[in-house]
Chain A
Amino acid sequence: MKKTYLTIMAMLLIAVFTNATFEGNGYSVGDYAIDFKLKGVDGKMVSMSDYSKANGIVVIFTCNTCPYSKLYEDRIIAINDKYTPQGFPVIAINPNDPKVQPGDTYQLMQQRAKDKGFTFPYLVDETQEVAKAYGATRTPHVYLLKKENNKFKVAYIGAIDNNHKSAEDASEKYLENAINALKAGKKVSTDFTKAVGCTIKWKEA
Chain B
Amino acid sequence: MKNSALIIFLIAFSTYKVTGQKVEVIKFPELQQIINEDNADLKVINFWATWCKPCIEELPYFEEINRNYKKNDLEVILVSLDFVEQVDTKVKDFVEKEALASKLYLLDETDYNKIIDSIHTSWSGAIPATLIVDNRKNKKDLYERQFKEGELSQLIKTLIN
Is there a chain B Cβ closer than 8 Å to A36's Cβ?
Answer: no
Chain A residues with Cβ under 8 A from B145's Cβ? 17, 20-21, 199
Give min CB distance, A108 to chain B, whole Å.
Answer: 15
Give min CB distance, A101 to chain B, whole Å.
Answer: 7
User: Which residue of chain B lies nearest to A103 when distances are taken between CB atoms in the complex?
Assistant: B53
Contact of B158 among A10, A18, A163 (CB under 8 A): A10
A193 CA to B158 CA, complexed, in Å: 34
Q: Is the CB of A159 within 8 A of B144?
A: no
Is there a chain A Cβ closer than 8 Å to B112's Cβ?
Answer: yes
Give min CB distance, B32 to chain A, whole Å.
Answer: 17
Q: Is the CB of A194 within 8 A of B125?
A: yes
Interface size for B (C-beta < 8 A) is 32
Chain A residues with Cβ under 8 A from B111's Cβ? 162-163, 171-172
Q: Is the CB of A194 within 8 A of B158?
A: no
Chain B residues with Cβ under 8 A from A18's Cβ? 141
Q: Is the CB of B112 within 8 A of A194?
A: yes
Q: In residues 94-144 of chain B, which contact A (Cβ within 8 Å)?
A: 110-113, 116-117, 122-128, 141-144
Chain B residues with Cβ under 8 A from A9's Cβ? 154, 158
Given known contacts A21-B144, A165-B83, is B52 in contact with A198 (CB within 8 Å)? yes
Q: Is the CB of B51 within 8 A of A200?
A: no
User: Which residue of chain A lies nearest to B146 when distances are taken between CB atoms in the complex?
Assistant: A199
Given known contacts A9-B158, A14-B158, A194-B116, is B126 in contact with A138 (CB within 8 Å)? yes
Give min CB distance, B2 to chain A, whole Å.
Answer: 55
Given known contacts A14-B158, A17-B143, A165-B83, is B126 in contact with A199 (CB within 8 Å)? yes
A67 CA to B128 CA, complexed, in Å: 14
Q: Is the CB of B143 within 8 A of A21?
A: yes
Contact of A196 among B116, B154, B158 (CB under 8 A): B116
- The interface size bin for chain A is 20 to 34
A17 CA to B122 CA, complexed, in Å: 13
A16 CA to B144 CA, complexed, in Å: 12
Q: Is the CB of B127 within 8 A of A198?
A: yes
Chain A residues with Cβ under 8 A from B155's Cβ? 13-14, 17
A158 CA to B110 CA, complexed, in Å: 15
Is there a chain A Cβ closer than 8 Å to B161's Cβ?
Answer: yes
Q: Is the CB of A101 within 8 A of B142?
A: no
Q: Is the CB of B116 within 8 A of A21?
A: no
Q: Is the CB of A165 within 8 A of B158?
A: no
Task: Give the residue among B112, B124, B141 with the most A Cβ atoms within 10 A.
Answer: B124
Q: Is the CB of B112 within 8 A of A195?
A: yes
Give min CB distance, B134 to chain A, whole Å.
Answer: 12
Is there a chain B Cβ closer than 8 Å to A169's Cβ?
Answer: yes
Q: Is the CB of B126 within 8 A of A169?
A: no
Is there a chain A Cβ closer than 8 Å to B81's Cβ?
Answer: yes
User: Which residue of chain A lies nearest to B144 when distances are taken between CB atoms in the complex?
Assistant: A21
Residues of A at under 8 Å CB distance from B?
A: 6, 9-10, 13-14, 17-18, 20-22, 67, 101, 137-138, 158-159, 162-165, 169, 171-172, 193-201
Give 3 closest A-B pairs by Cβ, nearest first. A10-B158, A138-B126, A194-B116
A and B contact pairs by CB, cutoff 8 A, 5 listed: A21-B144, A158-B113, A162-B112, A198-B127, A201-B54
Given A6-B161, A21-B143, A199-B128, 16 more A-B residue pairs with CB atoms under 8 Å apart are: A13-B158, A17-B143, A18-B141, A20-B143, A137-B125, A137-B126, A164-B110, A194-B113, A194-B123, A194-B124, A196-B127, A197-B126, A198-B52, A199-B144, A200-B126, A201-B54
